[in-house]
Amino acid sequence: MLNIRALNLVAALLLGGAATLCAQAEPRPDSPDLRPCSELSSLKVPLAPEHVDRATGRLVSQDRLPMRLDIGRYANLRRAVEGYWRTGVLLTAVNRDRLVAAGYDDDVAIFFLVSAVASWFHMGLDGAIYVVFIGLICLSLLLGLSGVFALTRSRLERVLGLVVLIAVVAIAYRLGGDIYVIPALVPVALVPWAIYFVARGTDREFLVYAAGTGLFLGFSRFLRIDSMMPTLAFVGLLIAVGSRRRRQPRLLALGVMAIALLIPALFFSRLMHERDAYLQARVGGYHAALGHHVIWHNIYIGMGFLSNPYVPGYCDQAGIDVVEAAMPGAAYLSPAYESVLKSKVFELLKLHPRFVLFSLFSKIGVAVLMLLIAANLGLLAALRTPKPWGMEMAFWCAIILSAIPGILAVPVPKYMTGLLAFAIMYSAYSIGFARGTLGWDLSEQPKQSILLPEEQKEPRELTAA
């Protein structure tokens, strides 16, 4: 009976997810001046000026923008480049001839990189965007491919590894684009080397990898806030419980990685402090930007994933309207704004728990469906040839953490690129492990630690000649 109920629950989740995906894909007619808040929403919101091509009067297609950037982010990057040209201070922007802060504190790295490249190399906005994004993609592929070469022996396996990594990046770009590729680029760069150092390499190389991983993850957090935690959990768990190294180098590697994580945070904190000091001295009434990522705004408007009478749709305007009605004058994304939406979320949970749970399980169903599609044969290979429990734990923790942002907000593909990346890599690794083509055995010990004294060798017994 329990198994039947479990199967029914899984079937309901998958069917609900599939139905939701199909429903979300239905086109809706747009009026010239208004657009739907989301696919299943009756709320109409006005179009921002940057969303309309002045020459044709039509909506600007994301596919026509460099690296498939979001239209709003493209406009903000243009303002940031102009702000740096005018002031010489990074992370400033010009909005309607007024100096403002560029971007939000959780994605400032992209504004920093594009503004710096455009200014230092005297490039236009589009050229700087291509240089930054293609550079990040090439760096991730180069690091990941070198890890695949260390993991595998045969030319065929290396070619297949290259195909898998390129496929992950291509899928993330096609389904997300913009900074939504970052949650996929991070595991592409770091996961192959993390698996390699489970049982191979010297302790010195292991520490260098830990330091580089900390710097890479710390910087990626300022490109896309949800890009850091899944890979950090994967690497941290492999070091802590999946590695066959001695305790001392494992603890030291975790400490080195933690320290390295702080360096990008200190760097961007200083940049933002200098930016805020500059603007406060020259712009009357300027207040420092928020120092945290908004959570309750995304959770509340995420309730509009399905058509319902409580939240009109998944768009910023849905949150703005409810806050304006409850607390007129509250600044957008301010702590007071977030507090209002937090209370609204708990109010929905208290008054309409069935709706909240149905919405939550529908999102989980979509996430599970994406996981099954991406992992496919790798799940069967994992069942047939189980991997060490430390490796399984690391992969599944990363997969779950990658799914959380989409489940809390909306599980559309651009918010799930991290999940898709880890699922595809899990599948490839599981199949390779089952076939025994990774080129080494997880049971073998790493090379002798350079941090610990060599073990005393037992003297050989002398035998008479």
d(CA 107, CA 183): 13
For 6, the token pair is 């479990």
* pLDDT at residue 318 greater than cutoff 70: yes
Strand partners, 93: 100
* pLDDT at residue 460 greater than cutoff 80: no
**Closest alpha carbon to 79 in 122, 111, 47:** 111
Quick one: pLDDT band at residue 107, thresholds 50, 70, 90? confident
Quick one: pLDDT band at residue 222, thresholds 50, 70, 90? very high
Let me know if residue 433 belongs to a domain.
yes
Structure confidence at residue 352 (pLDDT) = 94
Quick one: pLDDT band at residue 317, thresholds 50, 70, 90? confident
Quick one: pLDDT band at residue 439, thresholds 50, 70, 90? very low
d(CA 159, CA 437): 13
Let me know if residue 114 belongs to a domain.
no
Quick one: pLDDT band at residue 13, thresholds 50, 70, 90? very low
**For the chain, what percent of residues have pLDDT higher than 90?**
61
Range of the domain at 299: 294-439
Q: Using only C-alpha atoms, what is the Rg of the chain?
A: 25
| Mean pLDDT for the stretch of residues 106-119 | 92
pLDDT digits (tens, 9 = 90+) for 132-189: 999 999 999 999 999 999 988 888 889 999 999 999 999 999 998 999 999 999 999 9
Quick one: pLDDT band at residue 252, thresholds 50, 70, 90? very high
Let me know if residue 419 belongs to a domain.
yes
d(CA 452, CA 203): 10
Let me know if residue 40 belongs to a domain.
no
Quick one: pLDDT band at residue 44, thresholds 50, 70, 90? low
Using DSSP, state whether 95 is helix, strand or coil. strand
**Closest alpha carbon to 210 in 158, 257, 169:** 257
Let me know if residue 430 belongs to a domain.
yes
Cβ partners under 8 Å of residue 147, min gap 6: 191, 192, 193, 195, 196
pLDDT digits (tens, 9 = 90+) for 266-286: 999 999 999 999 999 998 888
**Stated pTM of the model:** 0.84
For residue 4, count other CB atoms closer than 10 A to its CB. 8
pLDDT digits (tens, 9 = 90+) for 71-103: 889 999 999 999 999 999 999 999 888 999 997
pLDDT digits (tens, 9 = 90+) for 327-346: 998 888 888 899 999 999 99
Let me know if residue 186 belongs to a domain.
no
Structure confidence at residue 106 (pLDDT) = 64
pLDDT digits (tens, 9 = 90+) for 47-57: 555 555 555 55
Residue 178 per-residue DSSP state = G
Structure confidence at residue 55 (pLDDT) = 56
As for how many domains the chain has, the answer is: 1
Structure confidence at residue 452 (pLDDT) = 38
Let me know if residue 316 belongs to a domain.
yes
Let me know if residue 148 belongs to a domain.
no
